[in-house]
């Protein structure tokens, strides 16, 4: 009974409260309409500008790393003299982790190096001795060859000179043979001129005898005529000149027999020199092909090679030991090869290191951000996509990353496959999520493992395109898009422009049209106003639940 009374009282209170609310709503509506009458029509606009627009998928993730390194040392059974780090320290590449006592190892290496030096010196003496013998044998062979080559070159020079003389003589002989007929003609002309000359002398002598007999009555004999009288006769002088000319013509024709004799002599000399040259070349070839000489040189070369190999073998094992010991010495000051945070440390000062992990470092050479992407968006996430990253630690600086991994199956298998008996529901209303890894490409020393990061995975982006606010892009029943812009010089007159929807960003969307110009004012849709009691009540949730 008391419960029934209590329920009636509660209902009464609710009705009173609702009545008061309705009265307040009516008052607000009246005030709103009064103000509305006072206000003129207003249109909200925004200037159309060019922007960079990106279509992206938003997510949050945690900074981690795929690199974790366990540090060990080769210096097993050596004492640790100092430990330079502790758990939780941040360590960089090259930082010293710990130091070892390697004094005995250094002594061993020094002794081995001395042995190597002694062995090398002994080996070099043997190699140098063998090399000198080889060089001497090769020099002897080369000297013999060079002497023969010098003689051959000298013979070839003489042969070349004789061959030039031979060519000149052959030309002369050929010319003399061609002038044989001319020689006969010249001889005949000379003989005729000589006969004419002798006849002119006889005639001149007879004329002088006759003249003397007429004048003196003395009869002279032909041989008694003075030479001066004969030579003075013009006919004798003319015949003498003709005969001398013919004799000169004969003397100018070469004697082919003498030339032929000279040519034969030169040919014989050339043949002799060629035979000598051939014999010398045979001797030269014999030096190169002499088995005994070549065998001796080869044996000496083998001695050099053997000495080199023996020296190398003698020191190889020692050098190998030194190399191994030097690897150990390099870890006297054990240094980190990665950057990161020390998560475990297993040694301390004065420990005898017996092997095993000295410490573990979670590396930071490459930060990775792990995130979960909803099943709705995961098909659009591809390896290689650009990612914009923001963290509280890096303030307003926007870092860049790249998607390096997308999981092939859902992280939340129960949600993905509807597994029976699943006890934990995912936080995203039961949707499956998929792990995605993003590599941070922008270096920043403020980043740390475990930090949270806000992510924008860029599906597509365009630079410097005409954009309008997303709400300003309107759609007709046929699916086509348009925008409304204020006409030039007007604050209220609007006109429609058909556009093609381009890339869609978070707030802005690209519009494509030849009619859209930068600087136009695009009309923004009016915000819905509560202008009735019904709408006000509905907005306040008072339409139901009243008992």
Say how many C-beta atoms besides its own lie within 10 A of residue 338's C-beta: 18
CA dihedral 508, 510, 516, 520 (to 10 degrees): 20
Residues 462, 544 within the same domain: no
Residues 88, 122 within the same domain: no
Beta-sheet pairing, 78-83 with 96-100: antiparallel
Residues 259, 398 within the same domain: no
Among residues 426, 418, 405, 416, the alpha carbon closest in space to that of 375 is found at 416
Calpha distance 144→155 (Å, rounded): 17
H-helix or E-strand spanning residue 254: none
Residues 97, 212 within the same domain: no
Residues 219, 167 within the same domain: yes
What integer pLDDT is reported at residue 535 of this predicted model? 47
What integer pLDDT is reported at residue 436 of this predicted model? 95
Domain annotation covers residue 302: no
Domain annotation covers residue 300: no
Residues 227, 348 within the same domain: no
Calpha distance 87→174 (Å, rounded): 113
Calpha distance 56→388 (Å, rounded): 9
- Contact (Cβ atoms closer than 8 angstroms) between residue 155 and residue 280: yes
DSSP code for 399 = E
What integer pLDDT is reported at residue 8 of this predicted model? 47
Ramachandran bin of 356, using left for φ above 0, alpha for ψ from -120 to 50, beta for the remaining angles: left
Calpha distance 501→121 (Å, rounded): 85
Residues 477, 440 within the same domain: yes
Residue labelled with tokens 């795929």: 66
Q: How far is CA 356 from CA 71, 73, 391, 470, in A?
A: 9, 8, 38, 62
Q: Which of 289, 313, 343 is where one domain is finished? A: 289
The string of DSSP codes covering 168-234 is: HHHHHHHHHHHTHHHHHHHHHHHHHHHHHHHHHHHHHHHHHHHHHHHHH-----GGGS-HHHHHTSH
Residues 90, 128 within the same domain: no
User: What is the mean pLDDT, run by run of 10 residues, along the chain of 547 residues?
Assistant: 46 63 70 54 86 91 85 94 92 92 92 86 82 84 84 88 84 70 73 85 86 83 83 85 81 68 85 87 79 77 78 79 90 88 91 94 81 94 94 92 93 48 43 92 87 93 93 94 91 92 89 94 74 47 40
Residues 5, 27 within the same domain: yes
**What's the total number of domains in the chain?**
4
The string of DSSP codes covering 175-193 is: HHHHTHHHHHHHHHHHHHH
What integer pLDDT is reported at residue 298 of this predicted model? 83
What is the tens place of the pLDDT at every residue in 380-436? 999 999 999 999 999 989 999 999 999 999 986 544 444 333 333 344 456 899 999
Domain annotation covers residue 320: no
Residues 354, 220 within the same domain: no
Domain annotation covers residue 270: yes
Q: How far is CA 275 from CA 261, 264, 268, 272, 340, in A?
A: 22, 17, 11, 5, 89
What integer pLDDT is reported at residue 312 of this predicted model? 72
What integer pLDDT is reported at residue 414 of this predicted model? 44
DSSP code for 525 = P
Residue 31 belongs to domain spanning: 1-41+531-547
Among residues 166, 163, 151, the alpha carbon closest in space to that of 277 is found at 151
Read off the CATH number of the domain in which 374 is found. 2.40.30.170
Among residues 155, 173, 175, 152, the alpha carbon closest in space to that of 163 is found at 155
Residues 502, 544 within the same domain: no
Calpha distance 400→407 (Å, rounded): 21
Read off the CATH number of the domain in which 119 is found. 1.10.287
Residues 132, 233 within the same domain: yes
∠ CA 21-23-27, nearest 5°, is 115
Q: How far is CA 43 from CA 40, 108, 331, 508, in A?
A: 10, 92, 77, 19
Calpha distance 335→341 (Å, rounded): 14
Domain annotation covers residue 57: no
Read off the CATH number of the domain in which 343 is found. 2.40.50.100
pTM over 0.75: no
Structure tokens at 390: 């923001």
């Amino acid at each position: 009974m008391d419960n029934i009374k209590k329920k009636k009282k509660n209902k009464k209170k609710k009705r009173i409260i609702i009545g008061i609310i309705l009265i307040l709503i009516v008052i607000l509506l009246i005030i709103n309409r009064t103000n509305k009458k006072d206000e003129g029509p207003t249109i909200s606009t925004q200037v159309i500008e060019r922007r960079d627009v990106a279509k992206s998928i938003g997510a949050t993730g945690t900074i981690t790393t795929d690199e974790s390194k366990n540090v060990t040392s080769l210096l097993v059974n050596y004492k640790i003299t100092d430990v330079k780090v502790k758990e939780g320290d941040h360590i960089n590449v090259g930082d010293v982790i710990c130091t070892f006592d390697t004094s005995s190892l250094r002594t061993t290496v020094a002794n081995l190096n001395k042995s190597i030096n002694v062995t090398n010196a002994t080996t070099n003496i043997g190699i140098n001795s063998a090399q000198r013998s080889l060089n001497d044998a090769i020099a002897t062979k080369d000297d013999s060859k060079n002497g023969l080559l010098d003689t051959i070159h000298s013979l070839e020079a003489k042969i070349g000179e004789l061959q030039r003389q031979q060519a000149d003589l052959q030309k002369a002989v050929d010319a003399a043979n061609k002038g044989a007929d001319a020689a006969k003609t010249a001889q005949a002309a000379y003989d005729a001129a000589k006969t004419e000359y002798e006849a002119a002398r006889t005639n001149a002598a007879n004329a002088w005898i006759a003249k003397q007999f007429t004048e003196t009555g003395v009869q002279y004999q032909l041989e008694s005529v003075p030479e001066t009288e004969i030579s003075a006769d013009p006919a004798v002088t003319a015949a003498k000149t003709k005969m001398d000319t013919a004799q000169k013509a004969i003397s100018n024709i070469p004697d082919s027999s003498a030339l032929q004799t000279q040519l034969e002599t030169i040919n014989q000399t050339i043949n002799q020199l060629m035979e000598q040259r051939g014999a010398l070349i045979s001797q030269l070839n014999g030096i190169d092909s002499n088995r005994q000489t070549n065998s001796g040189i080869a044996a000496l070369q083998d001695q050099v090679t053997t000495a080199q190999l023996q020296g190398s073998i003698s020191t190889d094992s020692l050098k190998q030991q030194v190399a191994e010991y030097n690897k150990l010495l390099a870890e006297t000051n054990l240094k980190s090869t990665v950057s990161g945070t020390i998560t475990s440390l297993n040694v301390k000062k004065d420990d005898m290191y017996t092997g095993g992990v000295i410490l573990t470092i979670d590396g930071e050479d490459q930060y990775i951000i792990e995130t979960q992407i909803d099943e709705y968006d995961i098909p659009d996430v591809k390896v290689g996509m650009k990612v914009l990253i923001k963290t509280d630690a890096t303030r307003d600086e926007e870092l860049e990353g790249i998607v390096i991994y997308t999981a092939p199956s859902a992280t939340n298998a129960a949600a993905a496959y509807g597994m029976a008996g699943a006890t934990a529901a995912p936080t995203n209303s039961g949707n499956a999520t998929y792990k995605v890894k993003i590599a941070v490409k922008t270096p920043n020393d403020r980043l740390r493992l475990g930090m949270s990061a806000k992510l924008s995975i860029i599906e597509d982006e365009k630079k410097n395109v005409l954009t309008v606010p997303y709400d300003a892009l309107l759609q007709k029943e046929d699916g086509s898009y348009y925008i409304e812009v204020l006409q030039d010089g007007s604050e209220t007159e609007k006109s429609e422009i058909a556009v093609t929807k381009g890339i869609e960003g978070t707030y802005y969307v690209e519009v494509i049209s030849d009619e859209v110009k930068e600087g136009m004012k695009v009309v923004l849709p009016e915000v819905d106003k509560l202008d009735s009691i019904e709408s006000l009540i509905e907005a306040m949730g008072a339409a139901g639940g009243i008992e």
